[in-house]
Structure 1
Amino acid sequence: MVARIKVATLGNAFLDRILYVPNLPTEPSKMRVTGQYETGGGIAATAAVACARLGAETVCYSRIGSDAAGNEIIRRLDEAGVQTDQVHQFENGRSPQGTIIVERSGERMGFGFMGEGWSDDASWLDFSRLDGVAAVMADYSWWQGASAIFAAAADRGAKSVLDADINDLEAVQRLLPLADHVVFSERCLAQLTGHGEHALGLKAIARRAKGHVSVTAGEGGFYWLDADTVRHMPAFAIKALDTNGAGDVFHGAYTVAVAEGHSVERAGRFASAAAALKCARGSGWESIADRSELDLFLNGAQ
């Protein structure tokens, strides 16, 4: 029997409530929702679920509270096959929770409570759980923890992936020199470089990063820097039901592909397909495709 690839993720884990509306509000108003759904969320936790669904042995490092929401986050991660012994429940802490509003087109608006009741100290992290990992992924929400896991991965010869997004540019800048792969959102890349054009942004940021740089552009596809050339992969054509969490699924799938030794191009295609399927299938962790479903989709798209 072939051993499964082992990966780890580090960052935030949420309990999300999704509200469905005909259209996203553009001004203060009252609105009747057409549906409601509760699911797991958070960048690192969602990426971890994607990794597990795609066949990787997955460890998640995160900080949550010892409250009902935290217990539910743990339950949902366990149910998805993610190893949760490094999801630390802090006594008297309040777990992260999110509210996401989704309109008919699949576009969304999100509001997140990041949790409270813990410090940014990363000394408690147990990196013995990283023995045998091939790749790790961290988000920007806790740069002290991300810095520590990137160093621990390097010590073990494992690859590292950073999810670089807009909400904490200072943290992203601290982590740029530490990760083997940095996958930006469009807005993050533009704000860090001052370039709205992907090629100029990637070439500018490459001078400040350690390894491979790329950017996800939603329906615009995936761009990456290959030596001195910016290359582009179109997005898969799908009808989106809910785009929430698509970027997190992308980063999880990208990490699995990197762990399996694939090139940036192949990792980008694999991750783009995983994100597309998630958008097409609906909301929450339950909509993340497994490996057989993803392989079937990719074979049909050739």
Structure 2
Amino acid sequence: MSAKVVVIGSLNMDLVTRAPRLPKGGETLIGHSFATVSGGKGANQAVAAARLGAQVSMVGCVGDDPYGQVLRDALLADHIDCQAVSTVADSSGVALIVVDDNSQNAIVIVPGANGALTSAAIDQADPVLQTAEVIICQLEVPDATVGHALKRGRALGKTVILNPAPASRPLPADWFATIDYLIPNESEAATLSGLPVDSLATAQAAAARLISMGAGKVIVTLGEQGVLFVQGDRVEHFTAFAVKAVDTTAAGDTFVGGFAAALAAGQSEAEAIRFGQVAAALSVTRAGAQPSIPTLSDVQAFKPS
């Protein structure tokens, strides 16, 4: 694969601790370990797309602190174009992550410099957007910036992906017409649709609701239950690959980056979904966010059990 993907979004330093379980309110636990790992949904998806075969450019902001340089260097190490990554007078974004012994996580994000990614910054990055085959956005930067980027992507005739994470409320109604692929997980699909999502049937109902709200194609990632693709009356369920999970951090980002890389390279939707699933499955067998993301050769060598 060798196609251009532009990712517009967040760069965070992940402060990761592993503990026996997630703490309850007011409770203090003794953790197993602590690490700082480059992350952020935008940066994770950029790294995933790059490692999985695409030419990638990142549009975002980091702070003028030591974390900012580390975050930029992590992208450069994966040969990601950072000409549209700005340094601003603020702290870099951070994510506080607890991972339990069952590989489930709880995350608190402090946006920091990510909040400085404005619509004007998207306009300044327009030459980069014009080179894209696929444009990816998430929700860890200001909503106004995301909306502006989605509309510009549509105006340029690019394939536009929105991973609505983290979703705390329904999307603005005028966004839907700008999105080619809306890719939520279970909780995000529930938040956006207003319907509970706890099974394949309820995921399909939520996706149908999102389509009735204007979404064209919805891909719901369901963890161990696989992936559900819905477009009008077309419904396809892709079963998950069985692997031993170590850490689910960045699995969703790996799927999105892999799907985008494969789609940009001309693979069919079904092929791109399976490719993204293999990449995500491999990622959960490793600890950390960006360190867990596999390469194209890893995916090509994968043999399902």
TM-score by shorter chain over 0.5: yes
Aligned equivalents of 1:235 and 1:150: distance in 2? 30
Residues 94 and 117 of structure 1 are in contact (CA less than 8 Å); yes or no, is this contact kept in structure 2?
no
Return the alpha-carbon distance in structure 2 between the equivalents of residues 240 and 172 of structure 1: 35
How has the CA–CA distance of structure 1 residues 171 and 71 changed in structure 2, closer, same or farther, with 3 Å as cutoff?
Answer: farther
Aligned residues: 297
- Scaled by the length of structure 2, the TM-score of the pair is 0.90
Change (3 A) 1:247 1:118: closer
Residue 164 of structure 1: how far off its partner (Å): 1.5
- Judge conservation of contact 1:140–1:172 (CA < 8 Å) in 2: no
CA apart distance, 1:42? 0.8
**8 A Cα contact 1:127 1:149, kept in partner:** no
Which position in structure 2 is the counterpart of 1:131? 130
Report if aligned partners of 1:93, 1:117 keep a CA contact under 8 Å in 2: no
Alignment of 1:64-103 (within 5 A): 64-90=62-88, 92-103=89-100
1:227-279 deviation line (CA, Å, top 9, x unaligned):
40322111111111000111111111111122123333222111111111000
Q: Hey, what's the Cα distance between the residues in 2 that align with 1:132 and 1:229? A: 31
Change (3 A) 1:117 1:4: closer
Question: Where do residues 101-120 of structure 1 align in structure 2 (5 Å cutoff)?
Answer: 101-116=98-113, 119=116
1:138 deviation in Å? 0.4
Query: Which residue of structure 1 lines up, in the alignment, with residue 5 of structure 2?
Result: 7
SS of the residue 2:163 aligns to:
strand
2: CA distance, partners of 1:63 / 1:244: 22
User: What residue is the counterpart of 1:167 in the other structure?
Assistant: 167
Q: Distance in 2 between matches of 1:172 and 1:249?
A: 26
Relative to structure 1, is the Cα distance of residues 221 and 15 closer, same or farther in structure 2, using a 3 angstrom cutoff? same
Residue of structure 1 in register with 2:150 after alignment: 150
Q: Which moved more, 1:264-273 or 1:286-295?
A: 264-273
Q: Where does structure 1 lack aligned partners over 5 or more consecutive residues?
A: none
Q: In structure 2, do the counterparts of structure 1 residues 139 and 106 end up closer, same or farther at CA, with 3 Å as the change threshold?
A: same
Once superposed, what is the RMSD of the aligned Cα atoms?
2.1
Give structure 2 stretches of 5+ with no counterpart. Answer: 197-201
Give the TM-score normalised by the residue count of structure 1.
0.91
Distance 2:195 2:167 in 1: 18
Bigger shift: residues 146-155 or 200-209: 146-155
Amino acid at match of 2:223: G
SS of residue paired to 1:281: coil
**Aligned counterparts of 2:76 and 2:29: Cα–Cα separation in 1:** 35
